[in-house]
Each structure stands twice: as C-alpha cells, then as structure tokens.
Amino acid sequence: MKRLFAALVLLPSMAFGQVRVDIDVKLPDIVFSTPPPLVVVQPGVQVVEDYDEDLYVVDDAYWVRRDGRWYRARDYRGGWEVVEERRVPVTVVKLPPGRYKRWKHSKKGAVVPASYRDDGRDHRQKDRGHHDDHHKGGKGKGKK
C-alpha cells in the first residue's frame, strides 16, 4: 500500500500549527508479463482486450478508475500511482464506467500491440469500393 500525506497550515491570523492526515490507498495490482492485446475503441483511446475492468491506454499510459479514484501506470508491468481527475485525459473521464469491461474486438476491429501509437489513421486494410481503372491499362473513366 502506498500512504498519501496531506498537510494543512493554518493562516497567520490563527494559531500556527499543522495537521497531518494519513490516507491508505490500495494501488492497483495490475501487472502483465508481456504487452496485453489492445483494441482501439475511439481515436486516441485503446482498451485492454477482454479484461475484467475498464483498463484504458491513452497517451502511452494505462488508466484505471477504482472507487472514484483514477490511477495511472506508464508501463504494462505496473508502477501505478494515484492521479487527480483533472490530470486524466478527458476522453477517458467522460466514458461511462463499465462500458469497456471484458471488451472484445469485432471482426471488423483491430487488435493492436500495446506499443502501438494511435495517430488517428485507420491502419487496417479495407476495400473502400474504389476501383482504379488506370491500373488496368485502360484509358480511364470518361474517355472513349
């Protein structure tokens, strides 16, 4: 467990003093031995596939919410720390709790390694219905 300390110093018009408050916060024990499979769920947001809770990857960090607190780890091997909500990416804070619990990629989706950096482009190969006639040796559309 990690122990957080908060100190309060009284204003000069009052008697000087300090108050020490010890708060025990159990840090997540989420640890992977290898990079877990990730699923892109929206631009810039990935989740660990089929995990028992919402475990996000945004800005090269892992994020999890437990009991109203946010935690961050910079590595899949752990190293969790408490983070103030105002420092959590807005895209993650706005997501409803439980939405990506045990999330699995669809057949159309893509599972990407944890080292993947989402640059906002679709990296999957798709047939987008575009036919390039000029590659077939023809004169191209519109010319006869």
Q: What is the pTM (predicted TM-score) of this model?
A: 0.60
| pLDDT surpassing 50 at residue 89 | yes
Beta strands in the chain (DSSP E): 2-9, 18-25, 38-42, 45-48, 55-58, 61-66, 69-73, 81-83, 111-112
pLDDT at 27: 93
Residue pLDDT, tens place only, 29-66: 999 999 999 999 999 999 999 999 999 999 999 999 99
Tell me the C-alpha distance between 136 and 34, whole Å.
46
pLDDT-derived band at 1, boundaries 50, 70, 90: low
Token code pair at residue 100: 């990506």
Burial class (CB in 10 A: 0-12, 13-18, 19+), 30: buried
Instruction: Please give the residue that has the higher pLDDT: either 13 or 138.
Output: 13
Burial class (CB in 10 A: 0-12, 13-18, 19+), 48: buried
Q: What is the CA radius of gyration of the chain?
A: 24
CA-closest candidate to residue 103, choices 46, 144, 62, 22: 46
Residue pLDDT, tens place only, 114-132: 444 444 444 333 333 333 3
